Structure 1
Amino acid sequence: MINRLVSITELEAAGRTPEDELDIGSVALILAAVANPEARQEPYRRHLKKLSAEVAAYVSGYDGPVPLSLQHEALVQVIHKRYGYVGTDDCFDDIEAANLMRVIDQRRGLPVAIGILYLHAARHVGWSAAGVDFPGRFLLRLDAEDGRIIFDAFEGGTTLTAPDLRRALKAMEGPTAELDPIHYRKASFRDVLLRLQNNIKVRQLGARQPSAALKTLGTMVALAPDHADLWREMGMLHTRLNQIPAAIAALEECLLRGVSEPIRYQTSALLQKLRSRLH
């Protein structure tokens, strides 16, 4: 219990950290530690540091700015080929595939979890890498002076051309769908971490484990306390569990943040009903 409380405190500190200072790999390990309070973070932190160091060593002989193709090659050679990180279809049914500690143990995980390893290493080497919320699949992008690469960490770092992305989009959204810049827009590191946790929460809800989902949602709120939608969802889950005072507190937090008028109206109406149940 003490270890879990320490990890929650660390998450709250991450929630106050500016985006450009957020260490995505370290925060993902904190999230994993909340779910596994008996596990020690340090061996996993050493592994992340080793990945970054080996990626840097791979390009150490290159003089000048590292070309985009070599950046991608270094990441794939170290993370996928040397250490064997890859996705498998059964990952999508495994809640542990979104826990970075278990991903490191097993060398397999969900697209976003494996992607975090690439993002962490690239950031520590000084390269511009980001997640991409492409429909149906979490992808990665690398940007450098000589261009941009979109690739799939789940598939061993396979690069995706515009025709590849167009085909994938049409398969997901229908034959009339067309690529738009929004489809390869960068996701913030915080949003990537929220996506990681959302994978866990969705699976817990699907397994009819609302109490577990509420704990996961608590980690998301700690990491992104300004997200009104998370507070509202927390209030709804507390309501479902008949935890009325906690539901009221969460919904009040939601209203303190910027929400649309329809959401404000619905939330205020629900609050009124919940308050009446306390009397």
Structure 2
Amino acid sequence: MAVSGSALADDILQTLSDIGRTADADFPIAKAALYLAAARLPGLNLGPYERHLERLTKEVADYAGPGTPTLADQYEALVQVIDRRYGYGGNESVFDDLDAANLARVIDTRRGLPVALGIVYMEVCNRLGWSLVGLDFPGRFLVRLDCSGERKILDLFEGGRELLPPDLRGMLKTMAGADAELQPQYLSEMTARQVVLRLEDNIRVRQMQRGDLADAADTLALMLTIAPDAGHLWREAGIVNARLDRVVSAVEALEAYLKCAPGEENGYEASLLLQELRAKLN
């Protein structure tokens, strides 16, 4: 990741823009999350966070030992070092704390949302050449560790607890109701970009719930910097900016949405809103 010194605001936005042009396969998950954190914390020195991730990676590798680690070796090394030695985890209070979705603050406090914890684990695994991917499970971010045809689904918020099908079914029913049943899409693999967007969306949702529309618009702008082709984000940005009476920004966002996602289900409503907003500019 190689970040040194205090990143300036223009440098941060330029780096995020560069990340936004990166292919999904090469998307730098921790770098993206840390620069998003720096965008909210002026003067933040990212160097210590990079060194911390380097140290975590080395200690996990040392714990796993020489040679090619098995799935069990990888799992034990990750949990013993990141969860038990360094104390990364979560509790119910983090769900109301915006800092729990800010990777720099998560590293500072060792407390974060499930997806923030996932980014720490995923970055370590990426550096070691291990396969750990995020899963788009309803209501709780989970990860899957794969090695030599074997796999474990883990809840990092619960200390890296392995989840078997009955556990997943029970968790789903708790989140979605007694009639909910497991579906293949609930365990679909997320790209690294999608994982970081899920992290940011936790911030956006809480800002919207609090009525902080201007902050939510800023968050959407940051999300679009790393995902410029995400049509649904352009639509949301258009709606939020329209509510703020930022007509020019709303028009630009809705035009981008219609260009990115032609023929989408919500396209007609977006077109009507766009016409109304354009009329205000005349």
Shorter-normalised TM-score: what interval? over 0.9
Please state whether the residue corresponding to 1:148 is helix, strand or coil.
strand
In the alignment, structure 1 residue 143 sits paired with structure 2 residue 149: no
Q: Paired residue for 1:56, among 57, 61, 79?
A: 61
1:72 paired residue among 75, 100, 103: 75
Amino acid at match of 1:40: N
1:18 to 23, 26, 51: 23
Deviations 1:230-254 (A, max 9, x none): 1111111111111111111111111
> TM-score if structure 1 supplies the norm length?
0.95
Structure 1 counterpart SS, 2:136: strand
Q: Secondary structure at the match of 2:266?
A: helix
The one of 209, 212, 216 aligned to 1:213: 216
Q: Structure 1: 5+ residue runs without aligned partners?
A: none
The alpha-carbon deviation at position 95 of structure 1 amounts to 0.7
Matched, 1:35 2:11: no
What is the one-letter code of the residue matched to 1:204? Q
1:88-143 deviation line (CA, Å, top 9, x unaligned) = 11001111110011111111011110111001001110011101111121011111
Match of 2:261 in 1: 258
Is structure 2 residue 221 aligned with structure 1 residue 195? no
Equivalent residue runs for 1:117-132 within 5 Å: 117-132=120-135
Report the counterpart of residue 3 of structure 2 in structure 1: none
Post-superposition shift, 1:146? 4.1
d(CA) in 2 for partners of 1:174 and 1:204?
A: 26
Which runs of 5 or more residues in structure 2 are unaligned? 1-6
Pick aligned residue for 1:103 from 103, 106, 122:
106
Distance 1:86 1:246 in 2: 39
SS at match of 2:186: helix
- Residue 175 of structure 1 is matched in structure 2 by 178
The sequence identity of aligned pairs, in percent, is: 46
Question: How many angstroms apart in 1 are the aligned matches of 2:199 and 2:168?
Answer: 22
Deviations 1:9-43 (A, max 9, x none): 11111111111211211111011001112211111
State the secondary structure of the residue aligned to 1:85: coil
Aligned residue type for 1:41: L
Q: Say yes or no: does 1:163 pair with 2:166.
A: yes
The match for 1:185 is 188
RMSD: 1.3
| Preserved contact between residue 68 and residue 142 of structure 1 (Cα < 8 Å) | yes
Change (3 A) 1:249 1:116: same
Deviates more, 1:173-182 or 1:202-211: 173-182
SS state of the match for residue 65, structure 2? coil
2:239 equivalent among 236, 239, 252: 236
Whether contact under 8 Å (1:103, 1:109) holds in the other structure is: yes
Instruction: With the length of structure 2 as denominator, give the TM-score of the two structures.
Output: 0.94
Number of residue equivalences: 276
Q: From 104, 117, 124, give the equivalent of 1:114.
A: 117
CA displacement, residues 124-182 of structure 1 (integer Å, 9 cap, x when unaligned): 10011101111121011111114110011111111111111111112222333222222
Preserved CA contact (<8 Å) 1:68 1:144: yes
Which position in structure 2 is the counterpart of 1:152?
A: 155
Letter in 1 for 2:253: A
Task: Write the distance in 2 (CA, Å) between the matches of 1:182 and 1:249.
Answer: 33
